[in-house]
């Protein structure tokens, strides 16, 4: 739940212009019961419910994109997602991806 609170806090800093834009949320749509395919198309599950609730509380429409887990973090880093809803184990690779911020801190 602390992650949800953090996401809500960060998203609450959005500008009023961005308040109308849909949030694009990435999740792994094959990891039941978190997210799984619906018979009629789309995905359902706890992560989908959480993404919808975050968007509802922010008063924003939501676009949920289900894809393979391995692509979620790279897509977030590429700014194709506003946030992810996925159970994730912290590893060194996921914790500290190579970025200009990481390089600038390590070179100081």
The answer to the question of residue 32 being in a domain is yes
The answer to the question of residue 8 being in a domain is no
1-50: per-residue pLDDT in tens?
A: 566 666 666 666 655 655 579 999 999 999 999 999 999 999 999 999 99
Q: Domain holding 34: CATH number?
A: 3.40.190.10
pLDDT of 101 over the 70 cut: no
The answer to the question of residue 1 being in a domain is no
The answer to the question of residue 2 being in a domain is no
- CA torsion angle for 94, 98, 99, 100 (degrees, to 10)? 150
Residue 108: the pLDDT is 46
Domain with 75 in it: 14-106
52-83: per-residue pLDDT in tens?
A: 999 999 999 999 999 999 999 899 999 999 99
Residue 98: the pLDDT is 57
The answer to the question of residue 35 being in a domain is yes
Is the distance from CB of 45 to CB of 32 less than 8 angstroms?
yes
The answer to the question of residue 64 being in a domain is yes
Number of domains in the chain: 1
The answer to the question of residue 91 being in a domain is yes
What is the pLDDT confidence band of residue 88, given thresholds at 50, 70 and 90? confident
The answer to the question of residue 28 being in a domain is yes
**Residue 1 CB partners (closer than 8 Å, separation 6+):** none
């Amino acid at each position: 739940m602390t992650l949800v609170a953090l996401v809500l806090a960060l998203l609450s800093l959005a500008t009023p212009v961005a308040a109308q834009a849909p949030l694009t949320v990435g999740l792994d749509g094959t990891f039941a019961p978190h997210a799984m395919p619906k018979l009629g198309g789309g995905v359902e599950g706890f992560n989908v419910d959480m993404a919808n609730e975050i968007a509802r509380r922010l008063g924003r429409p939501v676009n949920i994109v289900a894809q393979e887990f391995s692509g979620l973090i790279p897509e977030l880093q590429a700014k194709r997602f506003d946030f992810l809803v996925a159970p994730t184990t912290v590893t060194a690779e996921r914790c500290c991806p190579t970025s200009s911020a990481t390089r600038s801190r390590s070179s100081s």
